[in-house]
Structure 1
């Protein structure tokens, strides 16, 4: 069984994001980048399926600029078998629909039995690519997965929903998007980092798959959230109630 795992290069989650002075976007100059945390969980889950003897091959794919090679090499060092980079020009943000169309073409070429990807990217929080990919391929989908079991031609997935947990079964091939509590991603060891340099990494472009990545959305403005107002200390419950009434909260 082959597992395809899309991964995205994003600003590291430990970095405090700064908006450009002109409000045209986020400042990426000299900013640490890393693999999207939800995608890292997806890579880990695919590797665990391989270690359990369920999967035979794990293929990772990234869509973005040349520097995304580092993200793919990290996934290879974790244990993926080979990688595909669909290269785009530096500084170009590809929208979820275009990403899903490219991934659909990759899936058609690779014929995976399962596609596992993060539920969302932490840079834009779109939470759309997995669902769009399932629609384009006509495959079943299981989103927000906190547990995945694969066997007998199906995936049994426990989903995190507002009311608790929901367990569903989807026939393979299928799309699964990962939530935070699915697993704890491993750290790549130094020997595996060295081995990753020799693993195959194929380079493609969106044009190779016949996909138009022209943007359909326009960012009007980007701004940092307003500073939180200072709190007020009260001396009694009665004073607290009075303050709440004054603020129109009660």
Structure 2
């Protein structure tokens, strides 16, 4: 018996909320990666790890919120909690691999392609691992061509996101890039869901063992959302990200130009006039 699949049980609420979470994770991740590149003396591994975790949590939270709207009319759906958590770990780890590659190797053709393929395949693996966590009285089948299209979208989206992470600098451009990332990630998810076919077993109305979506929603979403909020606080209160690279350079130049030549810390830059030593001595 073929099941009736509905991916929009709650209308536009779940897709819109899922898209916003993907955008939030992407925006925070991009700003963290930009922060690691603005100052070579900053703790780059820490900022890259925070950016990867933000993007990974945003993608996974988007997937899980969107799956709350997934419904099979003839059967109850439950989830395996272990596989669901594993899909979150996969999302963070594979995004981290791509972020660290471009964070240290740059956006060159070879590094960007390698990082984009790895990250895209990882995002697709996260999605289908999350789908494997579904428990219902039936079996799930996929249209191969549609699955292939979803993987291609994931790779293209990941490559574009990583390119933006090491190329985009301004706040508004980062915000625009995160909105595009949200569209791409959501598009990958719903393309993958369009490939789903459910074949039900003979006993209608029964369900396999597992946790219901409502019982999983709060505990599963609480951790990633709290993490994204904390990451947002870190990004908001970092002065280098608030001022931007241009303000950092100008403020640093102004401080150097105000230091006297007798100061051992003073290192005049090119074009900075040296103070008159005689007038400086007379003043004291």
TM-score of the pair, normalised by structure 2:
0.26
The answer to which structure has the higher strand fraction is 1
TM-score of the pair, normalised by structure 1:
0.29
